[in-house]
Amino acid sequence: MSGKRILAAVGVIAILGAATGVTAAYRSVAPYGQIGNRYLAKQICSCVFVTGRTDGSCRKEFEPDIRQFEVSITHGPGDASGEVRTRLALFQGRATFDPRYGCAIPD
């Protein structure tokens, strides 16, 4: 085999090894990323919709960590419903509010 072919084969093996490592790392971290996002969405949802506090007031409770997350709060018509979405990198969470049941994390 020529030197170029050996180098190409080593390169392909290295790329496959790196891809396998990244996939394994993501799979081991993904559950924790989902848990963190869903927890934050539920806590913000309860703070805003159940206790009736302002968005800014609720965000202060999670400083400085909340700065890393994208948080969006949607109020339904007449405060009859609401939704909070959170995102950090590839992970996201969602909690919904129903005045009869409070905030919940949908499946």
Please give the residue range of the domain that contains residue 94. Answer: 3-104
Does position 3 have pLDDT exceeding 80, yes or no?
no
Q: What's the rounded Cα separation, in Å, for the pair 69 and 71? A: 6
Angle at Cα 72 formed by Cα 39 and Cα 103, nearest 5°?
Answer: 45
- CA distances 69 to 3, 14, 46, 61, 97, Å, are 48, 33, 17, 14, 20
pLDDT reported for residue 62: 84
Higher-pLDDT residue of 52 and 14 is 52
Q: Could you give the number of structural domains in the chain? A: 1
* Mean pLDDT, residues 10-19: 75
Q: What is the CA radius of gyration of the chain?
A: 21
Q: How confident is the model at residue 22 (pLDDT cuts 50, 70, 90)?
A: low
pLDDT reported for residue 27: 63
Write the pLDDT tens digit of every residue in 55-97.
889 888 888 878 888 899 988 887 778 999 998 888 889 999 9
This prediction has a pTM of 0.71
